Amino acid sequence: MGLPARRRPTSGAALPKLARMTSVRKGQAPAPVTRSTFHERFMQSFYDPAFAAEAEAIARLETLAWEAYKEGRKAPRTHKAGAGFQDPSYDLSDEWRETSDKLKAAQARWSEKATPSRVLLVNGSPRNDGTCPGEISKTWRLTKIARETLEDAGIRTDVLDLSLLTSGYDLHIHPCKGCVSTAMPLCHWPCSCYPNHADRQVGDWMGDIYERWVSAHGVILLTPVHWYQAASPLKLMIDRLVCADGGNPDPTSTHGKKPEEAKAIEQKGWDYPKHLAGRTYGVVVHGDVAGTEGVRRALCDWLDWMGLIDAGTQARLDRLIGYYEPYATSHDALDSDKDVQEEVRNVARAVARAVEELRAGRLSQPDARLKPPRPK
């Protein structure tokens, strides 16, 4: 199905040189998996001998799953989009609509003066004592310090513990598929890439996480350094938040994932809406040898780009804890480092004050009304 008439591009010859329709490049994706490969992968979930008693039932389920895979039933439950969408007749995913409605409601509450101030604390470490490491992380302890400080200031807190990805049952943040690099309007807000029931890409946590970001007046990211980078759970979430920076709130405008339509829309002009702009932030990065400064800078640059407002110099912290000391005694090093504990409290205090000023209309954004000549 093509674009509706009011957004249909004219022929390439009639468009300005820079706006001529570009081609969609193909040829990378492999062929669908064979029936035997599908069987091997499907049965991985039933390796435990306890499942053997239900072998016939599992075989029936496998047949149903194979049919869904062959037919590509990504969103098996849909309804017509209806009023408010560019194409009301498009079969819109029930799951996507539910998430979208939650985000709209959360944004409405966020805007109301009567809504209590809320700060989202994101613990980015994958370590906790409920899985293989057998011990809590230093990041978790720093998160608790920040939480206590915020609550003492009368701020409600929401702790997003990303270590649950390593210890929670069938909980996932699936990787970003890079739709934005094909064309920004192909990247929907909220993300419509998941769940994909045909490929069994389910259990995606981001539907909940998007709502928690939208509900927050302030955000504090806390992460260890892993190989000069933010920890992998945090990076997974960051990549999936790309749809908050320029994402398309109307999947019917691209009829799902049709790259030709998305390219045409972007080439005609796209405003790259910043869906999380106007919130304030702080960052805490810690390591034991090196890399803290680079990770802190990268996180702050990302949040700045998203339209969030930093809460001041003391809200952007990077520190080494237990410099070149054994991993085994790293919690002891944190125990003795009273200064870094107080610096984390200052991050929280700065964000608390910034939230107060933000909601009172006093938080200064000197460049807030400047229009960028190259939005993206």
36 Cβ contact list (under 8 Å, min separation 6): none
Radius of gyration of the chain (CA): 23
pLDDT digits (tens, 9 = 90+) for 60-105: 999 999 999 999 999 999 999 999 999 999 999 999 999 999 999 9
* pLDDT tens profile 301-331: 999 999 999 999 999 999 999 999 999 999 9
Distance of CA 296 to the CA centre of its chain: 18
CA distances from residue 315 to 85, 219, 225, 296 in whole angstroms, order as listed:
40, 11, 18, 11
Contact 288, 324 (CB under 8 A): yes
Report which residue type is found at 218.
Answer: G
Name the H helices within 43-137: 55-71, 94-111
Supply the DSSP symbol for 172: B
Please say if the pLDDT value at position 362 is more than 60.
Answer: yes
* Per-residue pLDDT reduced to its tens digit, 116-167: 999 999 999 999 999 999 999 999 999 999 999 999 999 999 999 999 999 9
Domain spans, the chain: 102-359
| Structure confidence by residue, pLDDT tens digits, 165-217 | 999 999 999 999 999 999 999 999 999 999 999 999 999 999 999 999 999 99
**Cβ-based neighbours of 181, under 8 Å, separated by 6 or more:** none
- Classify domain 102-359 at the CATH class level: alpha beta
Q: What is the pLDDT of residue 160?
A: 98
**Does the model's pTM come out above 0.95?**
no
Q: Enumerate residues 6+ apart whose C-beta is below 8 A from 40.
A: none
Cross-strand bridge partners of residue 157: 119
pLDDT for res 11? 35
Cα–Cα distances in Å, from 345 out to 180, 336, 351, 356, 363?
37, 16, 10, 17, 20
